Amino acid sequence: MKQELAGKRVAVIGAGGGIGRAICETLQANGADVIGLDLRGLDRLPEGVVGVECNLADVEQLGAVVAALYEEDARPISLVNSAGVVEENIGVEDMTIADFDRVMGVNFRGLFFACQAFGRELLARGGGGIVNIASMSGNYMVNYPQKQSVYNSSKAAVTAFTKSLAVEWAGRGVRVNALSPGYVGTPLLEQKTEMHAQWKENILLERFATPEEVAEAVLFLLSDRSTYFVGAELLMDGGITLR
């Protein structure tokens, strides 16, 4: 296998999740030194991936984690933002401020300040890459029948922010892109198994993506094969948004 990321350090936030774990595995298999950040699931990280407990909603804690990582090793750390939460089928008329803040606090606020904390160091240490996991639900479609207006809005915010950030940092050695998957078979979908058949009806490939397929696209966006991608949103949805 090609070692496309040999010698590079990458932090994956949300590493304990279905997609995050696959990203850790793929990046590590391609030579990266991977640090996995999450609230939970760190005991299931692939062997060799360094797990660090971290709550993305706590910006101060995140800053302390970044500082500690650089105390151990001064090499720049590229970043993959894969942490995410979704409200459980709540209509706008019933949305509480707490539910709104929980989803936005991780998916957008947390991601924003993670880009800031890791990005400041990348700017100072010679650059690197940032990949933000957004979703087809941000700019391409509204999921049905489940109601998830805050999640969808948070993902549109992620892609808008990714473009803004790419413009600010492209000339300074930090390449920022977003990846928007369609449905991926992970724990995030498990609470809605009764809807799976309905979702699949509209997927041209008639199946969900695998976390490994998502990880391949992340590898591409971090590698030197994608050097002309700046502020892009890569959509990988099995064709569902064409219907």
Ligand X SMILES: NC(=O)c1ccc[n+]([C@@H]2O[C@H](COP(=O)([O-])OP(=O)(O)OC[C@H]3O[C@@H](n4cnc5c(N)ncnc54)[C@H](O)[C@@H]3O)[C@@H](O)[C@H]2O)c1
Binding-site residue total for ligand X (CB under 6 A)?
A: 29
**Active-site residue, selected from the candidate residues 70, 140, 144, 151:** 151
Q: How far is the CB of 171 from ligand X (least distance, A)?
A: 28
Instruction: Build a one-symbol-per-residue string for 100-129: x at contacts with ligand X by CB under 6 A, - elsewhere.
Output: ------x---x-------------------
Q: Which of 83, 166, 218, 222 binds ligand X (CB under 6 A)?
A: 83
Q: What would the two tokens of residue 151 be? A: 């999640």
| 184 forms part of the interface with ligand X (CB under 6 A) | yes
First to last CA, the chain: 36
Q: H/E element holding 69? A: helix 59-72
Q: How far is the CB of 13 from ligand X (least distance, A)?
A: 6
Centre a 10 Å sphere on the Cβ of residue 98 and count the other Cβ atoms it contains.
8
| 46 forms part of the interface with ligand X (CB under 6 A) | no
DSSP SS3 for 195: helix
Residue 183 a catalytic site member: no
Q: Using CA atoms, how far apart are residues 141 and 237, in angstroms rounded to an integer?
A: 11
Residues 190 to 219 in contact with ligand X, rule: CB under 6 A: none
Closest CA to 173 of 118, 119, 232: 119
Residues that are catalytic: 151
